[in-house]
Amino acid sequence: MCRSSAVRELVNVSDWGEKVGIPLQWDFFEYLPVVLQDATTKDVLMVQYMTEEGLRRTLEERSMWLWSRSREEFWMAGRQSNGYHLEALQANCIGDSLLAIVDASDRAVCHLGRRSCLSQPVAGAPAGG
């Protein structure tokens, strides 16, 4: 997705450093990875991508607006259950990824009905705890 002139007008790239306290490093495709974490359980729920427009909408509405690379459209995480309320948003030390702490109300997050999208074991890797 290329940044449109309309999005450029709504969100000035140079303003993000001022707004979030660190210059954000968008990738070649103008995405920023975002990890969603449950505020209560601390479970990592999913890793998705955000665009500048998604970040603007997320900050304004306090719901998670993410970018679907496969469908090439915005989607609100948890829309069927009124969205995941954003409780905190943190950038990593170099500004190339975000951690969104959300209220997911202890419900299934994955489209497969699982609590987390990150629940599939990788063959040959340690199982962890």
Q: Are 110 and 117 in contact (CB under 8 A)?
A: yes
| Residue 114 is assigned to a structural domain of this protein | no
| Residue 10 is assigned to a structural domain of this protein | no
Q: Are 47 and 34 in contact (CB under 8 A)?
A: yes
Give per-residue pLDDT as tens, 32-71: 999 999 999 998 999 999 998 999 999 998 989 898 888 8
Task: Give the model's confidence band at 110: pLDDT under 50 very low, under 70 low, under 90 confident, else very high.
Answer: confident
CB atoms within 10 A of CB 75: 14
Structural domain span for residue 78: 22-103
What is the C-alpha separation between 84 and 105, in angstroms, rounded? 8
- For the chain, how many structural domains are there in total? 1
What CATH number is associated with residue 63? 3.10.20.810
User: Greater confidence, 78 or 49?
Assistant: 49
The pLDDT value given to residue 31:
87
Q: Are 51 and 71 in contact (CB under 8 A)?
A: no
| pTM for the structure as a whole | 0.76
